[in-house]
């Protein structure tokens, strides 16, 4: 059973082939980051147009890599939501048109379920149940995951997502778009002892989080430093990046441990773009070692948006595959409404 997966929810076109027996056999990705950089953010119309340009060549590249043709594909999974409407429509239209021509079924996949299940594409593979820390550009949630489609939100950010906080903070520090990964790179060389920023909601008695204040705290700190020492030099900027990262990582680790303790679960699965953050991974691994917990991550390349997670989630939901034809997208879509699989 060979599933073709297509991701086009935002600014990455991802295509992959997942075989129920052989696993992930091919995945190709095109990121539009460079294209949007000049505008300092994703331009939806440009995103849609670029998905149109990329999706077929990426599909052909996947098939060619493993010596297969479209005739070998048994079902097509595509990101149905949430995401940018125009961008989603490209993947949905291509998936349905291809499937219609091939006379095979389609499966509309929830983008966040894709992220959430992506750690199952790595070895060792976690068994259910587990706590999932979903930390992406648009979402930050702690979930109890008892099976595919059985997601209970235990806590979430009340304002900015963790990735969004990375990106916005990077922007106000003058880093080029997309700032999150770059900020984290600079933070690695910063001194953790020089500045200290607040840990928002660290001691709240729930699992909710808040990151928008942290961004403001960085702005205040930067202004303070500028007032005292003049323009911020490179080492100081690295120290500020480090202070920001220290704060956000401590909150994410602390809330994750709290979720594990509260539910009595022993496994934590991290998913989404911020899951690529080295300091977060190191801090979680260290905390887990001390408490005899297991932490699982997606392969590094599959933390941010990709087609592999969509092909995989689709393969797990084949029971919900339908005939192609009329289709809809869901730019807003609540993960907890998914049926169990």
**Which residues are near Fe ion by CB under 5 A?**
136, 305
Residue 11 as a binder of Mg ion (CB under 5 A): the answer is: yes
What does DSSP assign to residue 74? -
> What's the closest the beta carbon of residue 299 comes to Mg ion, in angstroms?
17
Are the C-beta atoms of 263 and 236 separated by less than 8 Å? Answer: no
Q: Strands of 130-135's sheet, edge to edge?
A: 150-156, 140-147, 130-135, 267-271, 294-296
Least Cα distance to 6 among 296, 329, 341, 337 occurs for 329
Interface residue with ligand ATP among 8, 13, 80, 136 (CB under 6 A) is 136
Residue 14 as a binder of ligand ATP (CB under 6 A): the answer is: no
Task: Confirm whether residue 134 is marked as ligand binding.
Answer: yes
Residues 215-274 that bind ligand ATP (CB under 6 A): 272-274
Q: How far apart are CA 185 and CA 309, in angstroms?
A: 25
Task: Confirm whether residue 103 is marked as ligand binding.
Answer: no
Which positions ≥6 away from 155 have C-beta within 8 Å? 141, 142, 206, 207, 208, 209, 255, 259
Cα distance between the two ends of the chain = 17
Residue 178 as a binder of ligand ATP (CB under 6 A): the answer is: yes
Residue 108: strand, helix, or coil: strand
Q: Give the interface segment with Mg ion, choosing from 10-18, 67-75, 152-160, 186-194 (CB under 5 A).
A: 10-18
Of residues 50 and 305, the one with the C-beta less far from ligand ATP: 305
Residues 277-306 that bind Mg ion (CB under 5 A): 305
Residue 137 as a binder of ligand ATP (CB under 6 A): the answer is: yes
Q: Give the interface segment with ligand ATP, choosing from 53-61, 122-130, 136-144, 281-289 (CB under 6 A).
A: 136-144
Of residues 59 and 157, the one with the C-beta less far from ligand ATP: 157
DSSP 266-333: -EEEEESGGGG-HHHHHHHHHHHHHHT-EEE---GGGSSS-SHHHHHHHHHTGGG-B-SSS----SS-
Task: Confirm whether residue 167 is marked as ligand binding.
Answer: yes
Residue 164 as a binder of Mg ion (CB under 5 A): the answer is: no
List the single partner that 113 binds among ligand ATP, Mg ion, Fe ion, none, CB under 5 to 8 Å by kind.
Answer: none
Chain-centre distance for alpha carbon 263: 24
Residue 7 as a binder of Mg ion (CB under 5 A): the answer is: no
Give the binding-site size for ligand ATP (rule: CB under 6 A): 22
Site residues, ligand ATP (CB under 6 A)? 10, 111, 115, 136-139, 163-164, 166-167, 178, 180-181, 184, 272-274, 276-277, 304-305
């Amino acid at each position: 059973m060979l599933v073709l997966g297509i991701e086009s929810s935002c600014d990455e076109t991802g295509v992959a082939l997942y075989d129920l027996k052989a696993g992930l056999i091919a995945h190709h990705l095109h990121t539009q980051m460079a294209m949007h950089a000049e505008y300092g953010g994703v331009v939806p119309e440009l995103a849609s147009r670029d998905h149109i340009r990329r999706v077929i060549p990426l599909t052909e590249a996947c098939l060619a890599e493993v010596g297969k043709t479209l005739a070998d594909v048994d079902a097509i999974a595509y990101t149905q939501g949430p995401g940018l409407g125009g961008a989603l429509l490209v993947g949905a239209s291509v998936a349905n048109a291809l499937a219609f021509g091939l006379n095979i079924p389609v499966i509309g996949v929830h983008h966040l379920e894709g992220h959430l299940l992506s750690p199952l594409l790595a070895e060792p593979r976690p068994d259910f149940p587990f706590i999932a820390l979903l930390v992406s550009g648009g979402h930050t949630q702690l979930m109890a995951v008892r099976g595919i489609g059985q997601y209970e939100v235990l806590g979430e950010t009340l304002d900015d997502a963790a990735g969004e906080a990375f990106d916005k903070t990077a922007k106000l520090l003058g880093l080029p778009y997309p700032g999150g990964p770059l900020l984290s790179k600079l933070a690695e060389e910063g001194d953790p002892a020089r500045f200290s920023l607040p840990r928002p909601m660290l001691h709240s008695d729930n699992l909710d989080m808040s990151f928008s204040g942290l961004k403001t705290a960085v702005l205040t700190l930067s202004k303070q430093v500028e007032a005292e020492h003049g323009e911020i030099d490179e080492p100081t900027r690295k120290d500020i990046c480090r202070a920001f990262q220290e704060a956000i990582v401590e909150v994410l680790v602390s809330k994750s441990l709290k979720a594990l303790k509260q539910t009595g679960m022993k496994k934590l699965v991290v998913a989404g773009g911020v899951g690529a953050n080295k300091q977060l991974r190191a801090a979680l691994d260290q905390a887990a070692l001390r408490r005899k917990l297991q932490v699982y991550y997606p392969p590094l390349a599959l933390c941010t948006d990709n087609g592999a997670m969509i092909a995989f989630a689709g393969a797990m939901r084949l029971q919900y595959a339908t005939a192609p034809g009329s289709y809809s997208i869901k730019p807003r879509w609540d993960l907890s409404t998914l049926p169990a699989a």
